[in-house]
Structure 1
Amino acid sequence: MFFCSRGPVLLRSPGDMLLFWVSCGSLLPLLVLCYNGQERCAIQDNKQHHVSPVLESLRCYNDYSSYVRCSWEESPHTSSQAPLALYYWDSPENRESLCKPYGQPALNPNNIKLTAQCEYNTHDFGININHVFFFKTSCPPALVLSKNVRVRTPVHLSQQPVERGGCLLSWESPYPPSSLLTPTLNYQVNYRRSNQDDWTAVEVQDTQLSVKAEAQVPGFQYEAKVRARWKTGLWSEWSPLVTWLTEEDPVPGPSNAQCVLDNETAVTCSWEVKRDVAQFLTFHLSCKHNHTAPAQKCCDNTMVSAPSRGPMLKYNCSFHVQDLEQLEVELVPTHNSKTFKTHKNIRPNRPLEVQIEERDGNWILKWNPPKPNVELTYQVHYWSNKTQEDTTLLTVSQGSRSLSILGGSLRPSECYLVKVRALVVPGQGDTYDGPPSEWTDPVEWTTQPASWSITTFLYVFISILVAIVFLALYITIPACHRRVILWEVSVPSPLKSKVLGEVIKKSPDRLLFPESERSEKTYICRVQTLESGEDISLCSSW
């Protein structure tokens, strides 16, 4: 007899396992009723499932009299982990007992693991008696897998074009046609335009789906996938994507057009248009309340949304109706246009026969006006061909057809270019206006060489005179200096006398002239030459 116990159930053999699962399958409601919210897990031999390193390292030895000692290896604990607790399972008594730890866990230097030990006191020993130990952890409640059953993924998803631009999607059941599951499967097909976020989902019981041309945008790539589900349970995994390219529409128009009833008197319609088409065409809703009523715009508050990616614009519009059964709605295309006021967009022709001539040192620019029907003014632009930054823009007074360019404002002997354009005379209020005309072709002229004025002549003369003076000084000063030196050498000097030289050699200054006399008295010496040829020096002080 199978009954609900208050503790774990010991399963010793594969036969016991099979009997247990068969019993659970047949008595699942009873098991649910027996579960009282406490954590209870069955106990089974570790050899039938994934090998546990901790259980593999578990060793238990007894003295065959009063106790059993066990040891095992475990990884070092973190702060959030509790130490492992080993329990002894008493099958006859249907109860569990803690194997009391003794000693401190020791670190194993070979594999950096902790070796823990515990001891359990018992007197149950014998040849046919087994001791069953397990590590007790939190045990989750049983999970009812019957709600999580899913079928296999559909296979051979493909597409083929059909008439009028549509597409036929087809696939096959993952099970053979003879399987009882095949006719009970439901399918869900999702398709969308590539690189879009939103999928269009359709559920069918057949193995094919026709996507109409109205639900696709011409000239774009689409992708689709399919999955299956049994009567209950979960959907299968999605099949691989299938893609196709829609044909280009020779006459581009709106796509994905549809209307939704918000309530008895309100309708919301939406449609999509390509960006390049929306530049030139606008589609608006036209409504008829009955067959004989004239068509009129349904709403003027059309909303436009532009996704960040993709070449489509989405439109939607809501409006109220009185009789839904008699309502007729159409999307009417209209060309986009732009209106221009003729008197505000006048661009005159450019002036004619531009000529320039010199008169009294100035340059006179002349031109012939175009044939306008409005008053014009002109702008003159001239610049140096050598220095492009040297440019001037002038506005000529109204009615004038010439301009005098002062010769003093131009560089001599330099090439200049000039061009002219016409402008509509601006005004206030509802008057003529518009952009200026095109510039005329540039006319080239060269200014005259510069003439010497009195001021320029004086500047040049003074500069040359100063240069001559400096040059003369540069030549004469060294020559004068040399002549002075020669003159000093030619003047007679007592110091150059040979007799005085001999006297100085024989009688030094200190002997001839005491220090006091040399510093306070002045001596005058005179040298006389006798007939014998000797020189006599006569000196006197004063």
Structure 2
Amino acid sequence: ESIPMKSLNCYNDYKSQVTCTWMEHSEAHDLVGMILYRRNEDMFCKRQTENDLHEAPDIYVHWVCRNTTEYFGIGVDDFYGFRPNKVLQAELDVDLFQNVQPLPPQNLSVGSMTSGDFLLTWRTADGSQGLGNALEFEVTYKREWESWEEAASLLLSNTTSCSLSREDLVPGSSYIARVRARPGRDSGFSGQYSEWSTEVSWKTPEAGLQPRNLRCLFNGGDRLTCSWEVKKVITTSVLFSLFFRVTPASEEEECSPVHEKTLPHTPYVVQSCEIPVSNSSSQSQYHVSVRAKTEEKLIEAYKNIQVLPPANVSVTTTENQEYELRWIKHKFIHNYSITQRYQVKYWENNQYEKVTYKVQENRPACTDCRQKHLTPSLIFR
């Protein structure tokens, strides 16, 4: 019910005068005004001001309308109505067969085939079965995390099933598909697509640890962008890189840098790299491959020596009342004469925190541990 009709109130003096009040939205009034009529006769209406209403301005225009009549009594029906002050009308001659919008296909389902492919099936909606074979169908499918703008699309006629090859699907991925119908181009009917059917989902089996979904797109100018997917946990140990050849006889080149983006809700990441294209008109066939990148690190042996600990450590008392530590030094390959530096530690038994240090240069003995530095009758280590 419109605002004018909701707000309409009428009363009379049961003698000669009828009075009505109503309102309309001010913005609507600026576009089209409404006229109140009684028994198909327009009433005389006057706009009420804020002073008349004794209220603050609001978003409505208020009206008071009056009319005179001689007919009052039981059984005399007074019908009131509104009409716009402009003709608001649209007309159209409709050809049923040229303005068809079918109902969405029903019972969309998916099943796996022995070949490893997946079969989508559906049926025409009950209300559209009169169109028979006049319909064609659009099937779109995508991975769960992709947008529908990125979805693959298939256009089919005279069938209510569709086989999706495993070669066109990414292993270990969750997919969603949907289907809609429209009159076929050669059916004699025309119109527009139905709404989409309900969605159906399935998951493709895993296919090992190999890089998957390698694809390349040329921007038409100077860039060939290639992307692939690998398991995220592998990338902590293995670096993947893109290698390419401009011609079969040309030297293989490595693309750099490689960018990485995490895929939502999957254990995979997308890696990509841009190959510069200098002359697409003369060479348009590129060979690309993704494989683990060889990593090497130079560690120079002579700068990274860790000698074995001295062997046969012993302690003896000398004639000068000193203690002498002796050991056998580590020997290097080919008896290389490399200076070895020794660090001697000694401490009172069970008091390692009070270690005494002594540095000894290239001598497999220490004689500075004089007896006067040690407490008698105690065991040292």
TM range (shorter): 0.5 to 0.7
Give the whole-Å Cα distance in 2 for the aligned partners of 1:326 and 1:151. 44
Q: Partner residue of 1:463?
A: none
Query: C-alpha separation between the residues in 2 aligned to 1:185 and 1:130?
Result: 56
**Equivalences for residues 308-387 of structure 1 within 5 A:** 309=264, 310=266, 311-320=268-277, 321=279, 327-331=285-289, 333-334=291-292, 336-343=294-301, 344-357=303-316, 363-373=323-333, 374=336, 375=338, 376-382=340-346, 386-387=350-351
Q: Deviations over 1:519-539 (max 9, x none)?
A: xxxxxxxxxxxxxxxxxxxxx
For the pair 1:202 / 2:159, whether they are aligned, the reply is: no
Deviations 1:450-480 (A, max 9, x none): xxxxxxxxxxxxxxxxxxxxxxxxxxxxxxx
Report the 3-state secondary structure (helix = DSSP H, G, I; strand = E; otherwise coil) of the residue aligned with 1:205.
strand
The answer as to whether partners of 1:66 and 1:121 remain within 8 angstroms in 2 is no
Q: Percent identity?
A: 20
Is 1:285 matched up with 2:243? yes
**What residue is the counterpart of 1:187 in the other structure?**
138
Q: Which residue of 1 aligns with 2:17?
A: 67
Aligned to 1:306: 261
1-side partners of 2:224 and 2:261: how far apart?
A: 22
- SS of 2:131 mapped into structure 1: coil
Instruction: Please list the CA deviations of residues 149-200 of structure 1 after superposition, one character each: whole Å capped at 9, or x if unmatched.
Output: 97644433333334675444443333467332874354342311x4566864
Conservation of the 8 A alpha-carbon contact between 1:362 and 1:405: yes
Q: Deviations over 1:74-119 (max 9, x none)?
A: 9xxxxx9x9xx996225746x5643666997799xxxxxxxxx975
Alpha carbons of 1:71 and 1:371: their partners in 2 closer, same or farther (altered >3 Å)?
A: same
1:180 match: secondary structure: helix
Residue 400 (structure 1) aligned with residue 363 (structure 2): yes
Which is strand-richer, 1 or 2? 2
Contact kept? 1:67, 1:119, Cα under 8 Å: no
Structure-1 residue corresponding to 2:177:
225
TM-score for the superposition, normalised by structure 1: 0.49
Q: Distance in 2 between matches of 1:155 and 1:362?
A: 101
**Change in 2 beyond 3 A, CA 1:196/1:120:** closer
CA contact (8 A) 1:286 1:295 kept: no
SS at match of 1:336: coil
Mapped contact 1:68–1:119 kept (Cα < 8 A): no
Instruction: Report matched runs for 1:105-116 at 5 Å.
Output: none
Deviations 1:100-157 (A, max 9, x none): 66997799xxxxxxxxx97532124537673415699xxx998x9x9xx976444333
Q: Could you list the per-position Cα deviations for residues 32-73 of structure 1 after superposition, in whole angstroms to 9, with x for gaps in the alignment?
A: xxxxxxxxxxxxxx5xxxxx899678542212444223479x
Provide the aligned C-alpha RMSD in A.
Answer: 5.0
1:356, distance to aligned residue in structure 2 (A) = 3.7
> 2-side partners of 1:288 and 1:118: how far apart?
81
Q: Which amino acid aligns with 2:45?
A: L
Distance in 1 between the 2:379 and 2:102 partners? 91
1:100 to 1:200, Cα distance in 2 relative to 1, 3 A: closer
- Of residues 195, 200, 210, the one that matches 1:236 is 195
The residue identity in structure 2 corresponding to 1:123 is T
Match of 2:58? Answer: none
Q: Provide the rounded CA distance (Å) in 1 between the counterparts of 2:263 and 2:47.
A: 67
- Amino acid corresponding to residue 65 of structure 2 in structure 1: Y
How many residues end up aligned between the 2 structures?
341
Task: Note if contact 1:259-1:268 (Cα within 8 Å) is conserved in structure 2.
Answer: yes
Maintained 8 Å contact 1:175/1:182: no
Helix, strand or coil at the partner of 1:179: helix
Label 1:281 to 1:308 Cα distance change in 2 as closer, same or farther (>3 A): closer
Contact 1:67 1:120 in 2 (8 A): no
- After superposition, what is the alpha-carbon deviation per residue over 1:340-375, rounded to whole angstroms, capped at 9, x for unaligned? 434244333332222344556655433212222352
More helix by share: 1
Question: How far 1:256 sits from its partner (Å)?
Answer: 1.7
Highest Rg: 1 or 2?
1
With structure 2 as the length reference, what TM-score do the two structures score? 0.65
Q: Classify the secondary structure of the residue corresponding to 1:122.
A: strand
Distance (whole Å) between structure 2 residues aligned to residue 210 and residue 71 of structure 1: 68
Distance, in Å, in 1 between the alignment partners of 2:103 and 2:347 is 83
Cα separation, partners in 2 of 1:407 and 1:267, compared to 1, 3 Å: same
The structure with higher relative contact order (CA 8 Å, sep 6+) is 2
* In 1: Cα distance, 2:205 partner to 2:283 partner: 35
Instruction: Check 1:402–1:104 CA distance in 2 against 1; reply closer, same or farther (3 A cut).
Output: farther
Q: What is the Cα deviation at residue 211 of structure 1? A: 4.2
Unaligned runs of 5+ in 1: 1-45, 47-51, 75-79, 108-116, 417-444, 446-542
Match of 1:126 in 2: 71
Mapped to 2, the partners of 1:388 and 1:199 lie a distance apart of 71
- Are the counterparts in 1 of residues 43 and 66 from structure 2 also a CA contact under 8 Å? no
SS in 2 for 1:337: coil
Alpha-carbon distance in 2 for matches of 1:238, 1:381: 82
